[in-house]
């Protein structure tokens, strides 16, 4: 097996599952997210209501987790829907808790829908898991229907407090967070410009998207003083596209040392631009870096490029223009460092039927056809039901944690299952030990318990991106300290939690290994979607060359193609560690991915030719199956592009 297809060792996957990246710590996010959790626990304790503190604290913690999963911005409708769904789950669980047969009967459709929700994306999938958690963990404490509704309302109140607090506390009094995010995007594109030609540009696109999200009017509640920063983001997007296209030409026609040197200088310019965004006084350093690029542009010799000399020269000129535009926006932003007034623009938008019909249609289609998401829904349902039955049959103390563990550990693919399963078991071991030690040594009073909850929440949420295992360990300690408000034997509770999580992890692994997902199915589907997306991008680029440009649609399909390529890459990466992997299929998928990457970059170059003003009748390109030969009048550069597109299309299709 080639290096490209080498399967990661178990040891390397273990290190990845429990390692920590200190550069990804987010203390501000941890503090902001933890404040409402601390309030949901501390305020009820002031009124001597520990049970209320437990329910509201757990609810706020679950909403905090979904906000971290959907970071940097989770749609408000998702957060509210998650809170309402979990509150309903709590009520239903409490109403049926005394009737095991009815409790299980309702649990089955809950698990089926939750498992199928992974077809809608990561956030809906986590929402489904949280609905199961709310049902099996908090849904068994009421003695009457009225008490069940009361617990559900308390849970909803805790969830809404967390949501409201995040909306208010994330309203920035300054643009420091936005500047930091944009600077990170500039540095990521700088690193990409200095990377080898075959390096993926998707991480840079992701960082730019993150900067755009934190600078949107909605995320700033209509704030009007971020216009220049948004303009910088748009200029950076064009710079990245220029680098992507140049890398495609480098990969296709040979890597010119002059082009590589120029891109390294571009990386230096972008690094200096990041400093200017964070500190406008650094604009002089940026100008010096840009001067080096301009001098290099006048003196460079495009050795090693061959017949693509003209194409590469044009792309370099366009990249320089994008850098000039970036400089203009940086100067405008630096001249306006005093932040102006901001306004609140909260317009009510009438809900559209498509907002719920489309996800519902996807869920129905998922359950009707044979696909990995449906297989996951069936596995999840069987594993959760078996976990609940085992816990009841063996009268395990707080055995509902077994079903809870299955709901959060079992995943639709082996790679995520392994990393999350190992991380959760290790984290639970550390967190349970920490909670038992804290409670046993401190014997915390009400005030100390509230402070412990807040401190643990801050550290748990701050380490979410840096290490899943560490964060889950701190979340475990947080939950156990919350539960200690109504439980007297926390060391025993901690041991029970560790035992139940271990049983849940074993059950999750056993269920998956007994009925694994078919190898390559996800990747085949992802490659098909990538091919369809690239065909749409190619069609619109050809129309632009034919004198019928549609810039808005072009931008949209370009972004879609990038995301489809990233999805296919991730799916292929998951296949590499599947227990029933097929090496021949892996090699074919890698070849098709390579074809998709080259096709994407060639279409970029075609699109830039249209943006430059080139006009070629669609029929002359020879890309239509009915007219497969290019026109003899086509320029050499265009013939090279058309040939690369034809070869890459065939490779993507596996021909």
CB atoms within 10 A of CB 332: 13
Task: Give the model's confidence band at 337: pLDDT under 50 very low, under 70 low, under 90 confident, else very high.
Answer: very low
- Mean residue pLDDT across the chain: 79
Convert the pLDDT of each residue in 63-91 to its tens digit.
999 888 876 556 677 888 899 999 999 99
Rounded mean pLDDT, 94-121: 88
pLDDT, position 5? 45
Task: Give the model's confidence band at 14: pLDDT under 50 very low, under 70 low, under 90 confident, else very high.
Answer: low
CA-closest candidate to residue 568, choices 528, 516, 519: 528
pLDDT, position 520? 66
pLDDT, position 432? 80
Distances in Å between the Cα of 636 and the Cα atoms of 315, 483, 541 are 16, 73, 19
Rounded mean pLDDT, 630-651: 79
In angstroms, rounded to a whole number, what is the distance separating the alpha carbons of residues 154 and 86? 11
Give percent of the chain with pLDDT exceeding 70.
81
Q: Which helix (H) or strand (E) segment is 61 a member of?
A: helix 50-69
Task: Give the model's confidence band at 293: pLDDT under 50 very low, under 70 low, under 90 confident, else very high.
Answer: low
For residue 130, pLDDT beyond 80: yes
For residue 174, pLDDT beyond 60: no
Q: Residue 584: which residues within 8 A CB-CB, separation 6 or more?
A: none
Convert the pLDDT of each residue in 386-437 to its tens digit.
999 998 888 888 788 899 889 888 888 777 777 777 777 788 778 888 887 8
Which pair of tokens denotes residue 360?
A: 């519902």
pLDDT, position 338? 41
Q: Is 191 left (phi over 0), alpha (psi -120 to 50) or beta?
A: alpha
pLDDT, position 4? 43
In angstroms, rounded to a whole number, what is the distance separating the alpha carbons of residues 279 and 397? 57
**Across 197-201, 328-332, 541-545, least confident range:** 328-332
Question: What domains lie within the chain, and their CATH numbers?
Answer: 17-172+369-514 (no CATH), 176-334 (1.20.58), 521-652 (1.20.120)
Higher pLDDT, 261 or 51: 51
The label of the residue with tokens 């071991």 reads 429
Rounded mean pLDDT, 33-47: 93
């Amino acid at each position: 097996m080639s290096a490209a297809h080498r399967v990661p060792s178990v040891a390397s996957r273990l290190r990845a599952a429990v390692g920590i990246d200190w550069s990804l710590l987010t203390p501000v996010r941890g503090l902001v997210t933890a404040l409402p959790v601390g309030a949901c626990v501390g305020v009820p304790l002031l009124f001597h209501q520990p049970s209320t503190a437990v329910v509201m604290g757990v609810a706020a913690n679950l909403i905090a987790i979904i906000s971290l999963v959907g970071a940097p911005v989770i749609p408000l409708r998702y957060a509210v829907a998650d809170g309402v769904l979990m509150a309903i789950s709590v009520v239903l669980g409490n109403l049926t808790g005394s009737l095991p047969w009815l409790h299980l009967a309702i649990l089955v459709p809950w698990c089926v829908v939750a498992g199928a929700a992974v077809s809608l994306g990561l956030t809906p999938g986590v929402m489904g898991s949280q609905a199961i958690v709310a049902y099996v963990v908090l849904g068994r404490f009421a003695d009457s229907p009225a008490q069940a509704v009361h617990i559900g309302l308390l849970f909803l109140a805790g969830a809404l407090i967390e949501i409201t607090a995040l909306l208010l506390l994330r309203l920035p009094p300054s643009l420091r967070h936005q500047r930091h995010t944009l600077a990170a995007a500039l540095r990521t594109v700088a690193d990409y410009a200095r990377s080898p030609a075959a390096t993926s540009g998707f991480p840079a696109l992701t960082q730019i998207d993150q900067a755009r999200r934190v600078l949107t009017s909605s995320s700033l509640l209509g704030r009007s003083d971020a216009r220049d920063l948004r303009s910088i983001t748009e200029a950076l997007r064009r710079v990245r596209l220029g680098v992507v296209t140049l890398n495609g030409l480098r990969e296709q026609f040979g890597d010119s040392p002059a082009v590589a040197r120029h891109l390294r200088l571009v990386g230096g310019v972008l690094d200096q631009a990041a400093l200017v965004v964070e500190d406008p006084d650094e604009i002089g350093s940026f100008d010096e870096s840009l001067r080096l690029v301009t001098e290099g542009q006048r003196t460079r010799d495009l050795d090693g490029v061959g017949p693509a000399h003209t194409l590469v020269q044009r792309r370099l000129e366009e990249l320089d223009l994008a850098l000039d535009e970036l400089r203009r926006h940086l100067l405008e932003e630096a001249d306006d460092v005093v932040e102006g007034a901001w306004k609140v623009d909260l317009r009510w938008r009438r809900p559209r039927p498509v907002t719920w019909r489309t996800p519902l249609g996807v869920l129905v289609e998922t359950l009707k056809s044979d696909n990995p998401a449906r297989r996951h829904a069936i596995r999840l349902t069987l594993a959760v039901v078996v976990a609940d039955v085992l816990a009841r049959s063996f009268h395990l103390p707080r055995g509902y944690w077994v079903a809870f563990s299955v709901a959060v550990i079992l995943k639709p693919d082996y790679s995520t299952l392994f990393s999350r399963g190992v991380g959760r078991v290790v984290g639970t071991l550390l967190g349970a030990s920490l909670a038992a030690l804290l409670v046993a040594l401190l014997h915390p009073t009400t005030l100390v318990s509230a402070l412990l909850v807040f401190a643990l929440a801050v550290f748990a949420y701050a380490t979410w991106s840096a290490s899943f295992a560490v964060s889950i360990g701190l979340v475990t300690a947080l939950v156990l300290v919350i539960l200690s408000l109504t439980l007297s034997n926390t060391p025993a509770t901690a041991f029970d939690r560790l035992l139940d999580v271990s049983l849940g992890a074993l059950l999750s692994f056993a269920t998956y290994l007994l009925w694994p997902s078919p190898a390559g199915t996800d990747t085949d589907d992802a490659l098909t979607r990538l091919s369809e997306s690239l065909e749409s991008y190619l069609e619109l680029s050809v129309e632009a060359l034919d004198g019928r440009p549609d810039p808005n649609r072009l931008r949209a399909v370009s972004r879609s193609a990038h995301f489809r390529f990233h999805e296919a890459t991730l799916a292929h990466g998951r296949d590499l560690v599947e227990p029933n992997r097929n090496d021949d299929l892996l090699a074919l998928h890698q070849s098709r991915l390579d074809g998709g990457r080259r096709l994407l970059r060639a279409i970029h170059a075609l699109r830039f030719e249209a943006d430059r003003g080139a006009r070629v009748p669609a029929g002359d390109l020879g890309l239509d199956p009915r007219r497969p030969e290019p026109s003899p009048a086509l320029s050499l550069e265009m013939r090279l592009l058309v040939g690369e597109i034809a070869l890459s299309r065939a490779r993507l299709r596996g021909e």
